[in-house]
């Protein structure tokens, strides 16, 4: 699936849930199912600055050139946001990730329903992912 197809799928999933408390619960549930990083990867290099909670994101380049990100947070809702974001970008080339317009965030209402500090943290995560993509672009 393309990045846009994945975003459209997420938008569709969230459109079926009208109540924001239920949407928050879905995000928390995603966090409960997300990655658990080894202690050695929870370091200053992988820590995302600008997040209210502690968030770590690790990037691996696959043999075919695509990227796989893994992430974790000490807050379940933030870990769920990490999972949503990584669902969109994982398995794509650095160029696709670098050039992607992550329109699903405003479309599902995250921008206006997260606290300002969580919104800033989400932007910091996107910035880090895009920085990895730029650094690894051909």
pLDDT digits (tens, 9 = 90+) for 9-34: 999 999 999 898 999 999 999 999 98
Using pLDDT thresholds of 50, 70 and 90, give the confidence band for residue 61.
very high
Give per-residue pLDDT as tens, 66-96. Answer: 999 999 999 999 999 999 999 999 999 999 9
| pLDDT of 51 over the 80 cut | no
Closest CA to 88 of 80, 71, 100, 76: 100
Cα 5 to Cα 46: distance, rounded to the nearest angstrom: 28
Cα 76 to Cα 32: distance, rounded to the nearest angstrom: 7
Cα 66 to Cα 105: distance, rounded to the nearest angstrom: 23
Using pLDDT thresholds of 50, 70 and 90, give the confidence band for residue 50.
confident
Closest CA to 24 of 124, 118, 120: 118
- 3-136: what CATH class? alpha beta
The position carrying tokens 């992550």 is 102
Cα 76 to Cα 73: distance, rounded to the nearest angstrom: 7
CB 86 within 8 A of CB 70: yes
Active-site residue list: 51
Of the chain, the percentage scoring pLDDT greater than 70 comes to 99
pTM of the full predicted structure?
0.92
The total number of residues shown for the chain amounts to 138
């Amino acid at each position: 699936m393309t990045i846009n197809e994945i975003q459209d799928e997420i938008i569709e999933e969230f459109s079926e849930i009208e109540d924001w408390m239920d949407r928050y619960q879905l995000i928390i549930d995603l966090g409960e199912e997300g990655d658990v990083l080894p202690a050695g990867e929870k370091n200053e290099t992988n820590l995302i600055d600008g997040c209210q909670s502690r968030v770590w994101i690790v990037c691996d380049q696959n043999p075919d050139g695509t990227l796989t990100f893994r992430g974790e947070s000490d807050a379940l809702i933030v870990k769920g946001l990490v999972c949503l974001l990584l669902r969109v970008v994982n398995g794509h080339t650095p160029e696709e990730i670098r050039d992607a317009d992550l329109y699903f965030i405003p479309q599902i209402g995250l921008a206006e329903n997260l606290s300002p500090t969580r919104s800033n943290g989400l932007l910091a995560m996107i910035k880090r992912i895009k920085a990895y993509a730029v650094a690894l672009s051909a």
